[in-house]
């Protein structure tokens, strides 16, 4: 007979899969009929009840690009410093790791208020795509740092000792051995960070603004797709149809990014294993 713990694990996995399929089915049932090329390219009209999400997609892409351009170099660099140059048993290392764990659990509305006070007011960026992207970078950094750090710490110490015995510098060891081996952790952190950034609403209300026109620069205000969905479903009477369609587009973007990142990481690791 199957063991009880195995049944419990399979039941939990099945429950998650059913809920996910139910959610996708509900979105597809209400939203797919409203999606066409015009919806993806035209600007919103009548407060979003009509028209499309062209400028919304552009603003979302720019906000995400700013977020990743800032968070990825800082996140990988901080993870390398914590795993390779700082002992986890030291007071400084423990303090940084505890700080990252606390930051990862802070509500997004707090990040939004911080972004508004610092980026919008102190730095004078105002309600802009740049302010929104920098705020999201602050939200994504704890997740990205911790995931990459754990990936680096999972690399066996023998790899470092072997590289040192062969006379490889720490820089060459890092970029040639450690970071490729930690690529799965980096991909996990990146995917989780992108998912949180794309789905964020509260932080962007106070930073990127709510303007639905086509942005001309990073200093223009821009409405993110998640904020557009929230506005249509909560504040606009008769906006549910376009809200569902926009939600379908958001889910498809998330799935495409996740699958692309995982596929690129697997292909890169496979190519490196063949070279080795």
pLDDT band at 219 (very low <50, low <70, confident <90, very high): very high
Report how far residue 53's alpha carbon sits from residue 213's, in angstroms, rounded to the nearest whole number: 10
pLDDT band at 273 (very low <50, low <70, confident <90, very high): low
Tell me which residue of 268, 72, 85 sits closest to 174, measured CA to CA. Answer: 85
Tell me which residue of 122, 137, 139, 125 sits closest to 209, measured CA to CA. Answer: 125
Report how far residue 218's alpha carbon sits from residue 139's, in angstroms, rounded to the nearest whole number: 19
Tell me which residue of 54, 215, 189, 76 sits closest to 133, measured CA to CA. Answer: 215
**Is it the case that residue 1 has pLDDT exceeding 50?**
no
Dihedral of the CA atoms 26, 233, 141, 194 (nearest 10)?
40
Give me the pLDDT at residue 123, please: 92
**In b/e form, how buried is each residue of 30-59, taking b as 16+ CB within 10 angstroms?**
bbeeebeeebeeeebeeebbebbbbbbbeb
Classify the C-alpha dihedral 262-137-112-101 as positive or negative.
positive
The single residue listed with the structure tokens 């990073």 is: 218
Asked whether 152 and 84 are in contact (CB, 8 A), the reply is: yes
State in Å, rounded, how far the first CA of the chain is from the last one: 45
Asked whether 137 and 208 are in contact (CB, 8 A), the reply is: no
Q: CB neighbours (10 Å) of residue 230? A: 18
For each of the domains in the chain, give its residue range(s) and CATH number, in order of start.
35-275 (1.10.3720.10)
Report how far residue 57's alpha carbon sits from residue 71's, in angstroms, rounded to the nearest whole number: 21
The reported pTM is 0.87
**Is it the case that residue 269 has pLDDT exceeding 70?**
no
Which tens digits make up the pLDDT trace of 187-208?
A: 878 888 888 888 888 888 899 9
User: Can you list the positions of beta strands (E) in the chain?
Assistant: 44-45, 50-51
Per-chain mean pLDDT for the chain: 85
Residue 136 CA, distance from chain mean position: 9
pLDDT band at 2 (very low <50, low <70, confident <90, very high): low
Report how far residue 201's alpha carbon sits from residue 224's, in angstroms, rounded to the nearest whole number: 8
Asked whether 34 and 229 are in contact (CB, 8 A), the reply is: no
């Amino acid at each position: 007979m199957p063991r009880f713990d195995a049944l419990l694990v399979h039941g939990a996995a099945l429950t998650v899969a059913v809920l996910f399929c139910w959610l996708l089915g509900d979105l597809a049932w209400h939203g797919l009929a409203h999606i066409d090329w015009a919806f993806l390219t035209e600007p919103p009209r009548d407060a979003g009840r009509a028209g499309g999400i062209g400028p919304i997609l552009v603003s979302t892409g720019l906000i995400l690009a700013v977020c990743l351009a800032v968070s990825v170099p800082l996140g990988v660099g901080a993870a390398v410093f914590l795993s390779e140059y700082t002992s986890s048993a030291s007071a400084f290392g423990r303090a940084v790791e505890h700080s990252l764990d606390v930051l990862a659990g802070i509500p997004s509305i707090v990040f939004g208020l911080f972004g508004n006070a610092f980026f919008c007011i102190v730095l004078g960026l105002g309600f802009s795509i740049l302010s929104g992207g920098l705020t999201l970078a602050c939200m994504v950094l704890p997740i990205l740092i911790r995931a990459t750090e754990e990936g680096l710490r999972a690399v066996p110490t023998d790899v470092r000792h072997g590289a040192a015995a062969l006379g490889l510098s720490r820089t060459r060891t890092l970029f040639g051995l450690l970071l490729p081996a930690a690529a799965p952790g980096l991909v996990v952190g990146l995917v989780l960070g992108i998912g949180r950034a794309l789905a964020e609403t509260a932080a962007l209300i106070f930073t990127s603004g709510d303007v639905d026109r086509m942005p001309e620069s990073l200093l223009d205000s821009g409405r993110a797709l998640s904020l557009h969905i929230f506005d249509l479903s909560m504040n606009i009477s008769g906006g549910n149809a376009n809200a569902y369609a926009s939600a379908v587009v958001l889910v498809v973007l998330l799935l495409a990014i996740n699958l692309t990142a995982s596929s690129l990481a697997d292909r890169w690791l496979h190519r490196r294993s063949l070279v080795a």
